[in-house]
Chain A
Amino acid sequence: MNHSVAAEKFIQDTPRVNWHDKAVWYIREKRDRAVAFVPEWEELRDAAAAIKGETISKLDEYLVQFESRAKENGIIIHWAVDGEAHNKIVHQILDKHQVQLAVKSKSMLTEECGLNSYLEGQGIEVVDTDLGERVIQLAKEDPSHIVMPAIHRKKEEIGELFHAHLGTDPGNNDPNYLTEAARHHLRKKFLKADAAITGVNFAIAGTGGFVVVTNEGNADMGVNLTPLHIASMGIEKIIPKPEHLGVFLRLLARSATGQPITTYTSHFHKPREGSELHVVIVDNGRSRQLGQKDFRRSLHCIRCGACMNTCPVYRRSGGHSYGYSVPGPIGSILSPNMDPEKHASLPFASTLCGSCSTVCPVKIDVDKQLYKWRQIITDKGFAPTKKTMSIKLGNYSFSNPMIFRVIGGLARMGMKLLPKSLTNLLLIKWTKDRDLPKIPKRSFRDWFLKRERVK
């Protein structure tokens, strides 16, 4: 997946890209309004970054502490090195309980591991219960945003999908009507489900419990009706103490949607009487990222999506242009750790404007990491070859003033003398939609030397 190729296609539909850009920018504006009510916002960010920094410096200790406390609470703990191991573990648990239908609330980790298709391949029906996730599940596509998975879908398209799959009235696109239809449809699934799968927003080492947040209530509906709850958790979701939740929960929803808090913030410590509660702790490349000094701060991520909402490139290219379970700026610094060749174009899909780093509630230096990934990707030889040649030429001319002046002069002369059609062709990527600047007769240096001579 090359981001620029996918982005170009997305941009061709001008009304659509404008609509997508405005819809996502609106969430950034809501975030700003919410943040304005928290005078200590920047201090909260500092605290969150410091807590995460300490946590990952003792990550093994905190994970072991979590496991031990969780077991005391009656939670069954599993460990998975990668996505495949995770999927196998989840399947084994479901299989043991003869699960035919599992309901699942939003979990980017399960997307990353490809859990749904794995389980479906094993004959287990999985129903995503977050409304946006259900929409894309019915549409057979990937989420395009980690908080609003169907942000790229217009209500007319959702109306059509629901008509086809849920039997809603054709042509009725009213969000209230469609949400009501989804409510009834999903309620049936909740009542019929044999198991519920959730993600984990925060796991508390000190108490051996975890927190799951939703606005819809779909996570709690699922887990509180079924006798089996499986929670998938990335190793970086650990925080040391309950009081740390105060910091993160004040930052999360405001950053994600501009709400002061999500509707539901559920804390799980013990399984419901008569049911089982499992947590699958997943690595899948995170411990490798931990070992990279320049990139380990990306593990602070609390998956709020604020970086996507503010990113001018994400808003105009859409989540599907990134080709990874997590798109946008954070996805572009997480994915090269997984596969630097496949995701080579992502760190370059940015102007390095820095807006992402400025909104990040846990102060990840996203723009700096993007720059650093570029160095690694070219080092590994995954950068386009034509760039290598022109860069080497550039280096040669930039470090030698005589050559620089000659090439500069030649270029200026060439631009003036060559027919416009030819120069346009040479620089077609620029000139397709932009005029070239007027080329001056003399450089600044020429002007300066002339002025000095006149003096």
Chain B
Amino acid sequence: MTDREQILNTIAANKPRTIPSIVIPKFKRKTSENLIELFKQMVIYVGGRFIITNSKDIFQIIEEQYPKVETIYSCVTEISSKGVMPEKISKPHELNSVDLAVMEGTFGVAENGAIWVTEKQMCHRVLPFIAEHLVILLDRQSIVVDMHGAYDRINLSQVSYGTFISGPSKTADIEQVLVMGAQGARSHTVILTEN
């Protein structure tokens, strides 16, 4: 008997009587909630920076926020890269030299400041993690209230790889002291654009 057969047989013999599935309740929400304000508070709470702008010159905003950055990898067609040529990258390891990555996010989640980013938006799966700094652009209309709203928007079976990113990489493993910039991005900037 294979391990698979053994496991499935034991489960079949041991499982309890079928319990019916539930419908996740719709939780009450205040209709007057200012989602952008809530999202902003949470982005800052989780250690991110938050900018809301009507400007079309995002590159300038990034340069203002990060004057010392030498290499910028842009996954956004309207924003040019700097010091790195995306088309020349053959191995993800080469991205280790990227100081800053800028990409678009699909939507933000107000309750926790997280942004859903898919593989297509990040160009390389490792990019949001390997870059020293991460900038994510988000349409200000695309904020959902909570994770239930988030999964309403995602067609997960069509997602090869996608991640929620909430603030910069962090750890509190050394005596509970919160340190930003563990293995992933040291800083995380959200730019809410008009669109």
The 8 Å CB contact of A53, one of B19, B28, B157, B182, is B19
- CB-CB < 8 A to A56: which residues of B? 15-16
- Distance to closest chain A CB from B163 (angstroms): 4
Bound-state CA distance A263–B113 (Å) is 10
- Distance to closest chain B CB from A48 (angstroms): 10
Residue of A nearest to B161 (CB): A268
- Distance to closest chain A CB from B117 (angstroms): 10
The 8 Å CB contact of B3, one of A80, A132, A207, A240, is A80
User: Using an 8 Å CB-CB cutoff, how does the interface string of B100-128 with A read, 1 for contact, 0 for none?
Assistant: 00000000010111100000000011101
User: Using an 8 Å CB-CB cutoff, how does the interface string of A277-306 with B read, 1 for contact, 0 for none?
Assistant: 000010100011011010010000000000
User: Using an 8 Å CB-CB cutoff, how does the interface string of B167-183 with A read, 1 for contact, 0 for none?
Assistant: 11111111111010111
A407 at the interface (CB under 8 A from B): no
* Interface pair B184/A131, CB less than 8 Å apart: no
A135 at the interface (CB under 8 A from B): yes
Bound-state CA distance A283–B11 (Å) is 10
- Distance to closest chain B CB from A200 (angstroms): 15
Interface residues of A in 217-249 (CB under 8 A from B): 217-218, 220-221, 223-225, 235, 240, 242-247, 249
The 8 Å CB contact of A130, one of B10, B160, B173, B176, is B173
B31 at the interface (CB under 8 A from A): no
B84 at the interface (CB under 8 A from A): no
A17 at the interface (CB under 8 A from B): no
Kindly name the residue among B109, B169, B176, B182 whose own CB sees the greatest number of chain A CB atoms within 10 A.
Answer: B182
- CB-CB < 8 A to A207: which residues of B? 156-157
Q: Which of A254-262, A325-333, A388-396 contacts B (4 or more CB under 8 A)?
A: A254-262
Residue of A nearest to B23 (CB): A47
* Interface pair A260/B42, CB less than 8 Å apart: yes
* Interface pair B113/A260, CB less than 8 Å apart: yes
* Interface pair B18/A57, CB less than 8 Å apart: yes
User: Residues of A within 8 Å of B, CB-based: how many?
Assistant: 92
- CB-CB < 8 A to B96: which residues of A? 187, 191
Q: Which of A147-155, A336-344, A348-356 contacts B (4 or more CB under 8 A)?
A: A147-155
- CB-CB < 8 A to B126: which residues of A? 220-221, 224-225
Kindly name the residue among B15, B25, B27, B42 whose own CB sees the greatest number of chain A CB atoms within 10 A.
Answer: B15
The 8 Å CB contact of A288, one of B2, B10, B22, is B10
B4 at the interface (CB under 8 A from A): yes
Bound-state CA distance A288–B6 (Å) is 12
The 8 Å CB contact of A243, one of B11, B109, B151, B157, is B151
Interface residues of A in 91-136 (CB under 8 A from B): 129-132, 135
* Interface pair A287/B14, CB less than 8 Å apart: yes
A81 at the interface (CB under 8 A from B): yes
Q: Contacts A131-B174, A221-B126, A235-B7 hold; do A216 and B24 have CB atoms under 8 A apart?
A: no
Residue of A nearest to B176 (CB): A23
* Interface pair B2/A79, CB less than 8 Å apart: yes
Residue of A nearest to B184 (CB): A217
Q: Contacts A60-B12, A245-B147 hold; do A51 and B22 have CB atoms under 8 A apart?
A: yes
Bound-state CA distance A267–B157 (Å) is 10
The 8 Å CB contact of A296, one of B16, B46, B114, B170, is B16
* Interface pair B171/A179, CB less than 8 Å apart: yes
- Distance to closest chain A CB from B9 (angstroms): 8
* Interface pair A85/B168, CB less than 8 Å apart: no
B21 at the interface (CB under 8 A from A): yes
- CB-CB < 8 A to B179: which residues of A? 175-176, 179
Q: Contacts A47-B25, A54-B22, A246-B146 hold; do A225 and B8 have CB atoms under 8 A apart?
A: no
- CB-CB < 8 A to A182: which residues of B? 182
- CB-CB < 8 A to A247: which residues of B? 24, 148
A64 at the interface (CB under 8 A from B): yes
A443 at the interface (CB under 8 A from B): no
Q: Contacts A217-B169, A220-B125 hold; do A225 and B160 have CB atoms under 8 A apart?
A: no
A264 at the interface (CB under 8 A from B): yes
Q: Contacts A245-B151, A281-B7 hold; do A175 and B175 have CB atoms under 8 A apart?
A: yes
- Distance to closest chain B CB from A204 (angstroms): 7
A374 at the interface (CB under 8 A from B): no
B164 at the interface (CB under 8 A from A): yes
* Interface pair A79/B4, CB less than 8 Å apart: yes
- CB-CB < 8 A to B170: which residues of A? 215-216, 263
- CB-CB < 8 A to A131: which residues of B? 171, 173-174, 182
A308 at the interface (CB under 8 A from B): no
The 8 Å CB contact of A265, one of B8, B18, B156, B164, is B164
Q: Apart from A261-B147, A267-B159, A291-B13, what are 12 other A-B pairs with CB-CB below 8 Å?
A: A39-B28, A79-B7, A131-B174, A183-B181, A190-B183, A221-B184, A246-B147, A246-B151, A266-B163, A269-B161, A287-B7, A291-B10
Q: List 28 A-B contacts (CB under 8 A).
A: A39-B28, A54-B20, A54-B22, A58-B18, A79-B2, A131-B173, A135-B173, A148-B172, A155-B175, A175-B177, A179-B174, A179-B179, A183-B183, A191-B96, A204-B156, A209-B157, A209-B159, A216-B170, A216-B171, A221-B126, A224-B125, A225-B92, A242-B154, A250-B146, A250-B147, A261-B164, A290-B11, A291-B13
Residues in A lying within 8 Å of B, measured CB to CB: 23, 26-27, 39-40, 43, 47, 50-51, 53-54, 56-60, 63-64, 69, 73, 79-81, 85, 129-132, 135, 148-150, 154-155, 158, 175-176, 178-180, 182-183, 186-187, 190-191, 204, 206-209, 215-218, 220-221, 223-225, 235, 240, 242-247, 249-250, 257, 259-270, 272, 281, 283, 287-288, 290-291, 293, 296
